[in-house]
Chain A
Amino acid sequence: MDLNQIARNKQNFATKKVGEDLVLVPMKDNVAEMNAMFTLNEVGSFVWDNLNEESTRELLSLAIAEEFEVDEATAKTDLEEFLLQIQDMMNG
């Protein structure tokens, strides 16, 4: 699943910010799957908010590095962790 697909799938989730975290509730066939609810940490929440159909891995990594004042390698690792988590959830 590429970034564009993930960005398009965002509309199939209800979200709620709780502190720094983000709670996501997937909607399947327009019905919420409350038992599949999951949470993103501060970095994941930031990526989710900034992810759109124009996003690239490079742009998102740079944005993470700038927002959280980490080096580019750490930002890339954080982004890949987020993408793995989000793909697992969207495929699940």
Chain B
Amino acid sequence: MVNLRLSIADFVIDLINKSELPIKLEDGYSDFVLEESTATASVQVIAHAGIPDSLQPATKPIYSADFEGNKLWEIFRIEDGLLFHVYSSTEPYQLQQVAKLNADLTVWDIYSEPVLDDQKSVLFPLLYPMGPLVMYYLTAKFDAIMIHGSGISDNGLGRIFTGVSGQGKTTMAKLWFDAGAEVLNDDRLIIRNQNGTYQIYNTPMFYQDEQRSAELKAIYSIHHSKENTLIKTEGASAVAGVTPNLIQHGYTKDLISHHLKFVTQIIDTIPVYKLGVVPNNSVVEFIRDYDR
């Protein structure tokens, strides 16, 4: 029995509770809950209470992530899929969850330790960073990617500003917001191929926000500059400009190929620019003028 349905990037995720405890989601998911839907789920998340000892890995991790020196999660290869050890983002080295993902990347079994919420024991199956892991493998399974970037909708024109940390993605979101554009998200986005057009979607964050999306019209790889500059890139150069900014677990050629293939498809129809940015409102008018 499905206990909760989520819609993220127009993908349906079913949450199935196999425990006696209630399941809850962080506030950021509240606007992504589907009230009524008969759509087929892309992914199932099955929530279990407690972390069984049997889910200890027998091998070394094939991939791991750290944040500010603390382990955030590790991935192990197992016979019938992948095993994830997910650590608390607030209490270092505290094992928060263990999850199994089937080889088809469509069914998650997530084992969580109960936590107290309003003096009741509950499960948070998608507690950060588990939720973003589920989202990432959703995009890896289907025709989609996740990217670090600011996404805005400027009169319906979806623009993504991407780049490494410190190049001004959040600043760009603020500048476009001040100029009347809708900010889809300033950190993490999903791009999905919807019948030949590319849609940008926001995803649940740690704060509450409504679902947002726009049709992608241009991607800008940004860097600081003394003047606003725009250079259109083509072919392999465009692919090399965008792909490093994807959210990616590059431990298999299959995953890397998925990302490269998707970006190669995008650049067939969506222009990719190198954008030198002066971090004030002049850059907004500079881009709008370029489009006119």
Interface residues of A (CB under 8 A from B): 14, 16, 18-19, 21-23, 25, 27, 30-35, 37-39
Q: Which residues of A contact B250 (CB under 8 A)?
A: 25, 27, 31-34
Complex CA–CA separation, A27 to B260 (angstroms)? 14
Contact B256 A39 (CB under 8 A): no
Interface string of B47-68 (1 = CB under 8 A from A): 0000000000000001100000
Task: Give the secondary structure class of B's interface.
Answer: helix
Q: Which residues of B contact A33 (CB under 8 A)?
A: 250
Is there a chain A Cβ closer than 8 Å to B253's Cβ? Answer: yes
Contact A19 B251 (CB under 8 A): no
Is there a chain A Cβ closer than 8 Å to B264's Cβ? Answer: yes
Contact A19 B236 (CB under 8 A): yes
Q: Which residues of A contact B239 (CB under 8 A)?
A: 16, 18, 23, 39
Complex CA–CA separation, A25 to B267 (angstroms)? 18
Complex CA–CA separation, A31 to B257 (angstroms)? 13
Closest to A17 in B: B264
Complex CA–CA separation, A18 to B124 (angstroms)? 43
Is there a chain A Cβ closer than 8 Å to B248's Cβ? Answer: yes
**Interface residue range, chain B:** 20 to 34
Q: How far is the CB of A81 from the nearest CB of chain B, in Å?
A: 17
Task: Give the secondary structure class of A's interface.
Answer: strand
Contact A25 B256 (CB under 8 A): yes
Q: Pick the contact of A32 from B235, B248, B267 — CB < 8 Å?
A: B248
Contacts A14-B253, A14-B256, A37-B243 given; does A30 touch B62 at CB 8 Å: yes
Is there a chain A Cβ closer than 8 Å to B131's Cβ? Answer: no
Contact A34 B236 (CB under 8 A): no
22 contacts between A and B (CB under 8 A): A14-B253, A16-B260, A16-B261, A18-B239, A18-B264, A19-B235, A21-B235, A22-B236, A23-B243, A23-B260, A25-B243, A25-B250, A27-B253, A30-B251, A31-B250, A31-B251, A32-B248, A32-B251, A33-B250, A34-B250, A35-B244, A39-B237
Contact B235 A34 (CB under 8 A): no
Complex CA–CA separation, A67 to B246 (angstroms)? 36
